[in-house]
């Protein structure tokens, strides 16, 4: 049981390039989400999904796209990278919104460290 | 909206007790969680308070007072491995933001030998 996996671990991009951050989970969780963490900051929600085929925006969605074609995978796409997107990106999964509001844990991946030059 | 305030740094020695405070402003929430993060790695869940009062899990306890918009994480018998960042997290109960997690900026705990 690998939990939540993210690839790549590190990435350097030039301004204007696009890329996809991969996230997968093997816990059959319906709920998946993407966060970014900037230095000295807490995590901020980018996008989330409550199940395959359903996605929605979080606090800071601009410049990012997501899709959820399977329960296991939830990729995050940067359409045209900007230096402001330099950050650490975490993917998380959980059983669902009903679990979240009962305080169930969200399982986080190890993160992808992105530098945009 | 949702906002949380917590101290940026706390230091303590091994074996001591430390309390990390969290004050919040909220338009509505289900409860307050705490997460631990070592060296920028994956955050891991520590505790959750839906109701006022103290929740105890081993060496860690968490407290919530809704009337005071205040919570804290209490770590007892500190160990070197407790050196990490600790985040208080609100879980929103408002309409379009229902179920969203709102993180504080985190408190870096350093435990000295």
pLDDT at B97: 85
Which residues in chain A have Cβ-Cβ distances shorter than 8 Å to B44? 105, 108
pLDDT at A55: 95
The mean pLDDT value for B81-107 works out to 93
pLDDT band at B94 (very low <50, low <70, confident <90, very high): confident
Who's near B109: CB < 8 A, 6+ residues apart? B9, B10, B11, B12, B18, B20, B75, B82, B83, B84, B85, B86
Residue of A nearest to B108 (CA): A40
The mean pLDDT value for B11-37 works out to 96
**Strands B18-25 and B3-5, how do they pair?**
antiparallel
Out of A40, A101, A111, the one facing B41 most closely (by C-beta) is: A111
pLDDT in tens, A55-98: 999 999 999 999 999 999 999 999 999 999 999 999 999 998 88
Chain A touched by B6 (CB under 8 Å): no
DSSP letter string, chain B: --EEE--SEEEEETT--EEEEEEEE-S-EEEEEEEEESTT---EEEEEESSSEEEEETTEEEEEETTTTEEEEEE-S--GGG-EEEEEEEEE-SGGGTT-EEE---EEEEEE-
The mean pLDDT value for B14-22 works out to 98
The residue written with tokens 């929605």 in the block is A56
pLDDT in tens, B33-69: 999 999 999 999 999 999 999 999 999 999 999 999 9
C-alpha distance from B30 to closest chain A C-alpha (Å): 6
pLDDT at A97: 87
pLDDT of A1 above 80: no
pLDDT at A4: 97
Who's near B56: CB < 8 A, 6+ residues apart? none
pLDDT band at A2 (very low <50, low <70, confident <90, very high): confident
The mean pLDDT value for A96-108 works out to 90
Chain A touched by B41 (CB under 8 Å): yes
pLDDT at A86: 97
Q: Classify B96 in phi/psi space as left (phi over 0), alpha (psi -120 to 50) or beta.
A: alpha
pLDDT at A58: 93
Chain A touched by B60 (CB under 8 Å): no
């Amino acid at each position: 049981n690998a939990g939540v996996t993210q690839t790549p671990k590190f990435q350097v991009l030039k301004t204007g390039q696009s890329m996809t951050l991969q996230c997968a989970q093997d816990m059959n969780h319906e709920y998946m989400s993407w966060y970014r963490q900037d230095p000295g900051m807490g995590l901020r929600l980018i996008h989330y999904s409550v199940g395959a085929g359903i996605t929605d925006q979080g606090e800071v969605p601009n410049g990012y796209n997501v899709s959820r074609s399977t329960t296991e995978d939830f990729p995050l796409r940067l359409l045209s990278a900007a230096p402001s997107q330099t950050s650490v990106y975490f993917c998380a999964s959980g059983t669902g919104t009903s679990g979240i509001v009962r305080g169930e844990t969200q399982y986080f991946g190890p993160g992808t460290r992105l530098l945009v030059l | 909206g949702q906002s949380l305030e917590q101290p940026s740094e706390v230091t303590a020695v091994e074996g001591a007790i430390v309390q990390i405070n969290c004050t919040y402003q909220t338009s509505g929430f289900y409860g307050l969680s705490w997460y631990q993060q070592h060296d920028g790695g994956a955050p891991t869940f520590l505790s959750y308070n839906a109701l006022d009062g103290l929740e105890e899990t081993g060496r860690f306890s968490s407290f919530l007072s809704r009337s005071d918009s205040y919570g804290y994480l209490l770590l007892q018998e500190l160990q070197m491995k407790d050196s990490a960042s600790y985040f208080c997290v609100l879980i929103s109960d408002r309409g379009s933001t229902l179920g969203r997690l709102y993180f504080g900026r985190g408190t870096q705990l350093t435990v000295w030998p």
